[in-house]
Structure 1
Amino acid sequence: MSSKTIAKQFVHMGARFRIVRPENLPRRLRRADYAIDVVTDKQGQLFEMQLSSVREEQLDIDVLQCDRHDRHLLLLVKTPEANDRFLCGHDEREWFVAAVPGGASSVAQAKLALLPAEVRQAADEARLNQGQRTRRHNRAFIRQGEWFFVPVPGFHVDKKMIHRHEPISRGGGSKPHWVAELYRTGGEPVHVCSEYPNGLTDREYKQLIADRPSARRWGWERRVRDAGVYARGTVRHPDHATITLREWHRVRMNTENKTRQKANVAFLD
């Protein structure tokens, strides 16, 4: 599918699309492989694919489905290594792009593929149909962006262990969601800063400081990676409507982090 044809599909859902060459971008923004981003120009947001002319010869790009009413489309990028799928669309206030696991061939299938196992189980127990499962609010869970919140009735937490106004983030430089009350169990303590948004273990941090003493001044914070997380109260994010959790909810991230092509998504929520 030509770039003009792809751009027309984006127009159908009310968005813009363009391809840019890495050599025309500042060096700090150039990617080793192709990358799909949401950027902003004078006209507003648009989808941008960074793609070298050499790499373009190796790829076959297609739009599997465009849902004009829902303002979503499913993009397929066939590479010599694999077939990569990306859900591009509008969620509440902003455009987004998400790497999709599996072999989805429609927007609805892509949304379902992004549900983590625990969320799917909760949806099964609540006997939700396909349409209900893709809503942000239903009787099984609440979703805000890439985060799902599953109610845990009767869950009790020691008040001393509750963190107030705590961020949750997928890493990779994404904007955090701020939770009024958060409880963590298990996980791995890490050191986080803008240079290492995914965190370093104590051993990795000490090695970095030994090699680069100036790194001590990088504004590090202590976080917990891959912990069991529970939330209660308000959850806020600039790109989404605030939600309020009346009881404790288990927090789960969508399945994008399980995809091979997650590295090809430059924009993160």
Structure 2
Amino acid sequence: MNAKHIESKFAAMGARLEVREIASRWQLGDRKWIDPVDYAVDIRRDGDGEFFELRMPTHLSETVETTVLQCEPKQRHLLLLIRKPGEAPQLDRFLCGHDEREWFVAAVPGGASSVRQAMDALQPGDVRVALARHHVSSRKRYERKNRAFRRQGEWFFVPEPALVVDEQLVLRNEPLRRGGGKPHLVEQLYRTGGETVHVCAKHPNGILDKDYRELVRVNPKAAHWAWRVMRRNPGVYARGTVHHSDHATITLPVWHRVVMNTETQSRTMANVAFLD
């Protein structure tokens, strides 16, 4: 892996990249590498501010190939490709860049070969439909605010001005989060449909009721893990202000449908340690 070449590409967009090798451990009984099994892309902070970190297990350091497919210095974005060889080579793509106040890294689904293609791939279907319906130009389709949507981090808000909801079911100052990331605090939130899940710190994405009951049966102590009952994958609508410590506050004067970017559809999401 040509670390210096990759570091120069990150430097071109005003960022630092540090490649850190981590000693791998070999499990004799199962004859496999463990702890860590795979590489990780993260954003860390030191005395000089934020930096990107690529953590590479030593057993992968000689075989994994890393390259930057495209760097857009003015836009402060680049598309990173990590190739793991094998009978079926694994090609992992990550969009790295700067959004408002902070650096970010996002796993990109599909086969993007440019920054623009990566940004397109991260826009969910509902957003693409709204962009087409409102005839948003290619220049404005990646902005955080246009006729089709508002965006804050990984969340898109698509206007639904005709939506009528039962005000008694509207939640106030409700957190909106992906996994264990920092929450986006929504002034008014309305949910409909979805499936009931049990959520705790050990299971931030939630588990179904049958899985919860089985877990508690096998491990009775799990019943004391500060669970919350929530809805997973419901229809979610937001109105009012949306706050997040890393982003400028946005205001939604009418109801907006809430949709997350497509990062979770990428297999390489498991290699992203960074959570907004």
TM-score band, normalised by shorter chain: over 0.9
1:171-203 CA deviation, whole Å, 9 max, x = no partner? 1x1111111111111111111111111111111
Whether 1:4 and 2:4 are equivalent positions in the alignment is: yes
**Structure 1 stretches (4+) deviating beyond 4 angstroms?**
none
69 and 89 in structure 1: CA distance in 2 versus 1, 3 angstrom threshold: same
Equivalent-residue separation in structure 1 for 2:243 and 2:160 (angstroms): 20
More strand by share: 2
Q: Give the Å deviation of 1:31.
A: 3.6
**Which of 66, 70, 74 in structure 2 is aligned with 1:65?**
70
Q: Tell me how far 1:258 sits from its aligned partner.
A: 0.7
Counterpart mapping for 1:14-25 below 5 A:
14-23=14-23
CA drift at 1:32: 2.0
Q: Aligned to 1:52, which of 48, 57, 64? A: 57
The reply on whether 1:223 has 2:230 as its aligned counterpart is: yes
Deviation at 1:212, TM superposition (A): 2.1
Q: State the SS of the aligned residue for 1:88.
A: strand
Give the C-alpha shift of residue 124 in structure 1: 0.6
Does the 8 A contact of 1:66 with 1:107 survive in 2? yes
Contact kept? 2:70, 2:79, Cα under 8 Å: yes
Shift in Å, 1:248: 0.4
1:246 deviates by 0.4
Within-5 A mapping of 1:32-181: 32-80=37-85, 81-171=89-179, 173-181=180-188
2:256 and 2:193 map into 1 onto residues whose CA distance is 16
Q: CA deviation at 1:155?
A: 0.5
8 Å contact 2:21–2:61 — kept in the other structure?
A: no
Gaps of 5+ in 1: 25-29
Moved more, 160-169 or 116-125: 160-169
CA contact (8 A) 2:36 2:57 kept: no
Contact 1:60 / 1:77 at 8 angstroms: preserved in 2?
Answer: yes
In structure 1, give the amino acid aligned to 2:100: E
- AA of the residue aligned to 1:116: P
CA distance in 1, matches of 2:176, 2:195: 14
CA contact (8 A) 2:23 2:58 kept: no
| Aligned twin of 1:259 | 266
Q: Give yes or no for contact 1:162–1:181 (8 Å, CA) kept in 2.
A: yes
Q: What letter corresponds to residue 2 of structure 1 in structure 2? A: N
> Is the Cα contact below 8 Å between 1:31 and 1:50 reproduced in 2?
no
- Cα RMSD (Å): 1.4
* More divergent stretch after superposition (134-143 vs 159-168): 159-168
Letter aligned with residue 249 of structure 2? T
Alignment of 1:164-243 (within 5 A): 164-171=172-179, 173-243=180-250
Amino acid of the residue matched to residue 113 of structure 1?
A
Structure 2 CA distance, aligned partners of 1:63 and 1:108? 14
Q: The residue matched to 1:200 in structure 2 has which SS?
A: strand
Normalising by structure 2, what TM-score? Answer: 0.92
**1:48 Cα deviation (Å)?**
0.5
Larger fraction in helix: 1
Residue type of the alignment partner of 2:107: A
Give 1:27's aligned residue: none
How far apart in 1 are the matches of 2:71 and 2:269? 21
Query: Could you tell which deviates more after superposition, 203-212 or 148-157?
Result: 203-212
Shift of 1:41: 1.5
1:98, distance to aligned residue in structure 2 (A): 0.1
Q: Cα distance, 1:82 vs. partner?
A: 2.2
Is residue 134–residue 148 contact of structure 2 (8 Å, CA) maintained in 1?
yes
Q: Distance in 1 between matches of 2:47 and 2:63?
A: 32
Give 1:214 shift. 2.1
Q: Displacement, 1:128?
A: 1.3
Q: 2:253 — aligned with what?
A: 246
